[in-house]
Chain A
Amino acid sequence: MQGDVNAANIPFTSRVLLALAGALLPADLRTDWIREWRAELWHSRRSAVRSDIALLNYSLGAFADAWFLLRHEAAISRRLAEARRSRSLPIAAMAVLLIGLSVATHGFQGGRDLLFGRDSDRLFLLAQPSPFLGSAARVPAAQVLAWIECGSTVEKLGRWAAKDPFVCVADPVAATLFAETHAKARCDTIQLAPDVRGFSGVIGRLKPGARLAGAEKELAETAVLHRGWLVPQIVPIGRLRRAPLLPVGTALLGLALISLLPLRTRSLESFAWAVSRVALSFALVVAGWLELTAAAPFTEQAGVPSVWAALLYVCPIAAGTLLHIWLRRDARGRCRTCYRPLTMPVFVGLSGRCLFDSGGIERLCSARHGALVTGSVPGQIGTEEWSQWPNPFA
């Protein structure tokens, strides 16, 4: 009861911050810790010397305090050290991240649509940049409408005009096409456009059995094209949306494969651990990138806009490269038999022979599988020697 009365005198925000910071601590430390902080806040509030904002400011320091105690708690430090030596924890963490991403994206819905949603291959876009400074649309709008109404290759889906004539957002377009009724509310970039001046393009769907070349030919026969536009360009939406997949996907696959090369494992167990790490870490990068690609806007003619190109082309490759470097360095410092991190580094070599032999650093497997001697220069490649120890229980 006394505790409740005391708590009520403390500002709500400070109480929340204390609870959050206290959650970092183990139960045996938390009781005294939270008692001290609450007492300080209670007396400060009662004496009315400090404002609520000042108390909030003071309460923020509770995180630093809790973190300090956590780091210096012997049992926790030991657990953190064990976690660093663990083989399964990073894999479990990556699996949890993947599951979390899957839940957040409804089972990688965007990525699956992108990869397997073949319907978007039949959806196409007839680029019709808005007339500018006396120029005309590529194909006269009325003739496009006539083609859609009377053509044998396409189905009518609606005209659209974008506020920005060169960019439309993939998701609202797809949503509009697949489920028009409930998607219109959140379709803020694309508008159905009865106004001819705002008419900047057509989204259509090929009739079953019709081909893109046939549709282009039919449109060319139906419409009187403006000079310079001998063949109307119809672009499948699937091609626009999937444009980054081939180059970036190939690069990531290549990086994943070359990450497997420096594993140097000597047992099936070790190989399985190593492959799991590589596969899961690259799966995380690929899953995130696919979801981002599925949500990206695209332009009428050139795929994603240049602002997004960094995210969809450069970032995944950079992430894959960094991952490869980390996996390569990590694999070098692990036991070739059980894949545990090697410990207890000691310098080996003779100081008198340092001119001829620079010596090296020896690390041991904590499960007594062997020792690895590497060059004394960090990151030196090609100077490592693994000594397998005989199994004492064999």
Chain B
Amino acid sequence: MPERINLTYTSGLILHAIATGQSYGFDIIDYTGLPSGTVYPALRRLESAGLIESVWDHKNADKSGGPPRKYYRLTRPGRDRLHTLRARYPLLEKIAD
């Protein structure tokens, strides 16, 4: 059963970051300016709530020769939630893509 989470500005910011193409954990940290100790637990919470999903990126790993990274993408409920959050927090829209 998916976990219910609050519609906070932080979760909105992270969903917005993922929607704008920041799909890796550290990229989301850089984009949002939030500390890693906030972003990663929030990602876990959003994932367990079914708003985002994570996939191992083997294709790019083969190209770079490094280990595969885990990237995050929005699910349909996640996009709906982001829409609600943008209505609640209009500043989210103003963050540069």
Report which A residues bind B (CB closer than 8 A).
2-3, 6, 9, 35-36, 38-40, 42-44, 46, 50, 57-65, 68-69, 72
Q: How far is the CA of A44 from the CA of B35 in the complex (A)?
A: 16
Please give me the residue from chain A that is nearest to B39 by CB atom: A61
Please give me the residue from chain B that is nearest to A55 by CB atom: B26
Q: How far is the CA of A69 from the CA of B40 in the complex (A)?
A: 10
**Interface check B33, CB cutoff 8 A:** no
Let me know if A69 and B67 touch, CB within 8 A: no
Let me know if B37 and A65 touch, CB within 8 A: yes
CB < 8 Å: which of B24, B36, B45, B64 contacts A62?
A: B36
CB < 8 Å: which of A40, A60, A65, A72 contacts B24?
A: A40
Let me know if A63 and B37 touch, CB within 8 A: yes
**Which residues of chain A are within 8 angstroms of B19 by Cβ–Cβ distance?**
none
Task: Tell me what chain B mostly uses at the interface: helix, strand, loop, or mixed.
Answer: helix
Let me know if B40 and A43 touch, CB within 8 A: no
**Which residues of chain A are within 8 angstroms of B36 by Cβ–Cβ distance?**
57-62, 64-65
29 residue pairs of the A-B complex, CB under 8 angstroms, read: A2-B67, A3-B67, A6-B66, A35-B67, A35-B70, A36-B25, A36-B69, A40-B25, A40-B26, A42-B66, A42-B67, A43-B24, A43-B69, A44-B26, A46-B64, A46-B66, A50-B26, A58-B26, A58-B29, A58-B36, A61-B29, A61-B37, A61-B39, A61-B40, A63-B37, A64-B38, A65-B36, A65-B41, A68-B41
Shortest Cβ-Cβ A-B pairs, 6 listed: A61-B36, A64-B37, A61-B37, A68-B41, A65-B40, A39-B67
Q: How far is the CA of A16 from the CA of B35 in the complex (A)?
A: 19
**Interface check B48, CB cutoff 8 A:** yes
Measured between C-beta atoms, what is the minimum distance from A237 to chain B in Å? 52
**Which residues of chain A are within 8 angstroms of B35 by Cβ–Cβ distance?**
57, 61
Q: How far is the CA of A99 from the CA of B38 in the complex (A)?
A: 38
**Which residues of chain B are within 8 angstroms of A3 by Cβ–Cβ distance?**
67
Let me know if B41 and A64 touch, CB within 8 A: yes
Let me know if A43 and B66 touch, CB within 8 A: yes
**Which residues of chain A are within 8 angstroms of B70 by Cβ–Cβ distance?**
35-36, 39
Measured between C-beta atoms, what is the minimum distance from B43 to chain A in Å? 9
Let me know if A60 and B37 touch, CB within 8 A: yes
Report which B residues bind A (CB closer than 8 A).
24-26, 29, 35-41, 44-45, 48, 61, 64, 66-70
**Which residues of chain A are within 8 angstroms of B24 by Cβ–Cβ distance?**
40, 43
Q: How far is the CA of A13 from the CA of B44 in the complex (A)?
A: 25
Let me know if B44 and A68 touch, CB within 8 A: yes
Task: Tell me what chain A mostly uses at the interface: helix, strand, loop, or mixed.
Answer: helix
Q: How far is the CA of A6 from the CA of B64 in the complex (A)?
A: 12
Measured between C-beta atoms, what is the minimum distance from B27 to chain A in Å? 9
**Which residues of chain A are within 8 angstroms of B29 by Cβ–Cβ distance?**
58, 61
Measured between C-beta atoms, what is the minimum distance from B48 to chain A in Å? 7
Q: How far is the CA of A191 from the CA of B31 in the complex (A)?
A: 63
Measured between C-beta atoms, what is the minimum distance from A43 to chain B in Å? 6
Since A40-B69, A68-B44 are in contact, a sample of 10 more A-B pairs with Cβ atoms closer than 8 Å, ordered by chain A residue number, is A35-B67, A39-B61, A42-B66, A42-B67, A62-B40, A64-B37, A64-B38, A65-B41, A68-B45, A72-B48
Q: How far is the CA of A60 from the CA of B39 in the complex (A)?
A: 12
Let me know if B44 and A72 touch, CB within 8 A: yes
**Which residues of chain B are within 8 angstroms of A9 by Cβ–Cβ distance?**
66
Measured between C-beta atoms, what is the minimum distance from A78 to chain B in Å? 17
Q: How far is the CA of A3 from the CA of B68 in the complex (A)?
A: 11
Q: How far is the CA of A50 from the CA of B29 in the complex (A)?
A: 12
**Which residues of chain A are within 8 angstroms of B68 by Cβ–Cβ distance?**
39
Q: How far is the CA of A50 from the CA of B39 in the complex (A)?
A: 17
Let me know if B41 and A6 touch, CB within 8 A: no
Interface centre among A9, A42, A46, A65 (most CB of B within 10 A): A65
Let me know if B44 and A65 touch, CB within 8 A: yes
Q: How far is the CA of A50 from the CA of B69 in the complex (A)?
A: 17
Interface centre among A6, A36, A50, A63 (most CB of B within 10 A): A36
Q: How far is the CA of A35 from the CA of B56 in the complex (A)?
A: 10
CB < 8 Å: which of A39, A59, A65 contacts B66?
A: A39
Q: How far is the CA of A302 from the CA of B12 in the complex (A)?
A: 64
Let me know if A6 and B67 touch, CB within 8 A: yes
Measured between C-beta atoms, what is the minimum distance from B34 to chain A in Å? 9
**Which residues of chain B are within 8 angstroms of A43 by Cβ–Cβ distance?**
24, 26, 64, 66-67, 69
**Which residues of chain A are within 8 angstroms of B38 by Cβ–Cβ distance?**
61, 64
Please give me the residue from chain B that is nearest to A36 by CB atom: B70
**Which residues of chain B are within 8 angstroms of A61 by Cβ–Cβ distance?**
29, 35-40
Measured between C-beta atoms, what is the minimum distance from B82 to chain A in Å? 22
Q: How far is the CA of A40 from the CA of B35 in the complex (A)?
A: 15
